[in-house]
A and B are shown apart, each in its own frame.
Chain A
Amino acid sequence: MSTTADQIAPAHDEHHAPRGLLRWLTTTNHKEIGTLYLVFSLTMFFVGGTMALIIRAELFQPGLQIVEPYFFNQMTTMHALVMIFGAVMPAFVGLANWLIPMMIGAPDMALPRMNNWSFWIMPFAFTLLLSTLFMDGGGPAGGWTLYPPLSLQTGAAFPFVILAIHMMGVSSVMGAINVIATILNLRAPGMTLMRMPLFVWTWLITAYLLIAVMPVLAGAVTMLLTDKYFGTSFFNAAGGGDPVMFQHIFWFFGHPEVYIMILPAFGIVSQIIPTFARKPLFGYASMVYATASIAFLSFIVWGHHMFTVGMPLAGELFFMYATMLIAVPTGVKVFNWMATMWRGSMTFETPMLFAVAFVVLFTIGGFSGLMLAIAPADFQYQDTYFVVAHFHYVLVPGAVFSIMAATYYWLPKWTGHMYDEKLGRLHFWCSAIGVNVLFFPQHFLGLAGMPRRIPDYALQFAGFNMISSIGAFLFGLSQLIFLWVVIKCIRGGEPAPAKPWEGAHGLEWTLPSPAPLHTFQTPPQIDPSEAHG
């Protein structure tokens, strides 16, 4: 672990590298590890997506048609765990690996061997997690939040789930430490903190969130484990514990966690919009401070997940106002993006389409979040489909769209080929329409009182559920277009120039496409006019 990039990089030549599977297993190159993360994430996206389609297929009509309720519960739980820890987080880590060294003029990540570790833990963690579906008593079915005492009723799968979560946690903590060490120590001379591209800034802040809260989750699941197997009573009222305490500890992790999944998305969008608006980002410094404020506030709002659990009035009010305060820095960001586009010479290539859709649709998710933050109103919304609609709006057309935007934007740099613009646009329109047909009706279902995590529902919810399921299949199947575009782009296509987007700024575009395995062995000169993308 003490081996750092500057010690090994000069001696590290491509022709020494092993070939085939061993090359990927032993690689310490940030670009190869980035690719591994992205491929892993895409795989998990389809695994988790399949689970989502099982859920939506069952909910297509009232009554039980396709799966047993218990299996349905396993699907909702696993869908969440796979998508959060397997799809969204590794995708951002993959992008960080690929892009951060290129954006700050570093030869590699600061801790390349730890980088290899932090990736290769992931496939094992998810093999473990997914294998629980085939165990006696099935996989975890009490929801991804693992609330006791329900989660303690999980069968043989329980310790495997806990161990898998520990492994994911170790992996993301190692990835985060690597990002921090890289950004703080390996910036090219002249790349001051306030000249860093915004993607780098958002990741730096995200990495601090990760190392602050993943250990808390590790502690919480460890307590669950000892409660179940070693006779402790952290959450067991009979022994003097309190199950509500788990919710406090869990959401102390859980709320920063949702910002871990959105801050890098803010960074991506802040790179893409200026490129296609052909204007510098409006309010760069305010973007940095807004990101930092959001990160800070995320630590003091966890109680808004627990308004109905029982809390003194002062607590409800505190968490309500603190949560609403987050709308201020988030609003700063949204207005900055709009101001960047204002009177810009905009063109709408696929990355820009996804980025603009991100701004619009994420804001819808933000607004429903504000509604949920109103403590008295939350008593109606709690645990209904309104909550499901809210967090899917911020995570799917929010986080996932930003990852797709990033993929289209940097794919020419990664592969050396232009992607198929026509197919890209087709993918965008199918996804954008699908995602709204899928999630918008869920707002109505929630307001009408449909609870979340149920395999069957009352007849009055039938219409909107059917629409939602149709949207789900449209959205899900249109991701096959995405897969096809990516594969097609890797295999060939029009050669990409070093800077395929005329409005793009930043060090990564000074490198040839595809980016060679080793870049910036000697630090580049920083042109201040090119600073922060």
Chain B
Amino acid sequence: MNPPAPSPAVGIRRTLRSALFIVVAMFGFGFALVPLYDVLCQVTGLNGKTSGVVAQAEPMRVDEARTVTVEFVASVNLDAPWEFHPDVTKLQVHPGRFYTTHFYARNRSARAVLGQAIPSVSPGPAATHFHKIECFCFTQQGFAAGEGREMPVTFRIDPQLPADVHTVTLSYTFFRLPEQG
């Protein structure tokens, strides 16, 4: 019997190596999707993600001719013991000008809790044009038992906001953070 080709064992080992490489690479790719997704959302404003950083306060041309309605929504995550609502539910704003409004939150539990508000802007394409220079969502908010307070948010709509957007909704969900220590 003449061996026609090199033993398949060599080929099998090579196949095994490259297949295992694909498996490991794809496992890594699954995790690489996480930062990839964040970047994509930041760039496109997908899912209403406003940019996490404080917006620049440089002056912008104010577009007096245009009025945009900004709606405020406050919701509380399932197990969080908050009372949470906006002071006004609607503002008429001119793009380019700064506005400040307040949200009210009160800790209804008998213990001190730490909360974090997560913003979301709808519709998605408006998210990149919604700039906040001050927001209670930038930091964690600590509340003593029963404490309630007003929390400010200062924002401005970019005049670049697409012309077909007439209403922008800013929604906050207030999450309870795990107890420290």
Contacts and interface: CB of A to CB of B under 8 A. Distances in A.
Contacts, number: 107
A264 B47 CA distance: 37
10 contacts: A7-B9, A177-B16, A211-B22, A214-B23, A215-B26, A216-B27, A218-B27, A219-B27, A219-B29, A310-B47
Given A6-B8, A219-B27, A231 B178 contact: yes
Contacts of B46: 310-312, 315
B124 A310 contact: yes
Contact of B33 (A111, A217, A248): A248
Interface in A187-244: 189, 208, 211-220, 223, 231, 234, 237-238, 240, 242, 244
B31 A238 contact: no
Nearest to B32: A219
A244 B34 CA distance: 11
Interface of A: 1-2, 4-7, 110-111, 173, 176-177, 180-181, 184-186, 189, 208, 211-220, 223, 231, 234, 237-238, 240, 242, 244-245, 248-249, 252, 310-312, 315, 522
B24 interface: yes
Given A177-B16, A231-B178, A237-B118, A312 B27 contact: no
Contacts of A180: 15, 19
A185 B41 contact: no
Given A184-B11, A216-B26, A219-B27, 5 more contacts: A4-B13, A177-B19, A217-B30, A223-B34, A310-B47
Chain A interface, DSSP helix/strand/loop, else mixed: helix
Interface string B1-44: 10011011101110110011011101101110110010001001
A245 B8 contact: no
B101 interface: no
Contact of B23 (A7, A173, A184, A310): A173
Interface string B86-106: 000000000000000000000
Q: Which 10 A-B pairs have the closest CB atoms?
A: A219-B30, A238-B175, A215-B27, A215-B26, A185-B11, A216-B30, A185-B8, A181-B15, A177-B19, A4-B9
Q: Dominant SS at the B interface?
A: helix
Contact of B19 (A211, A245, A315): A211
Nearest to A221: B30
A216 B25 CA distance: 10
A253 to B, nearest CB: 8
A1 B34 contact: no
A237 B176 CA distance: 11
Contact of B20 (A6, A177, A213, A219): A177
B59 to A, nearest CB: 30
Interface string B140-181: 000000000000000000000000000000000101111000
A249 B16 contact: no
B12 A244 contact: no
A238 B77 contact: yes
Contact of B30 (A181, A240, A249): A249
B23 A6 contact: no
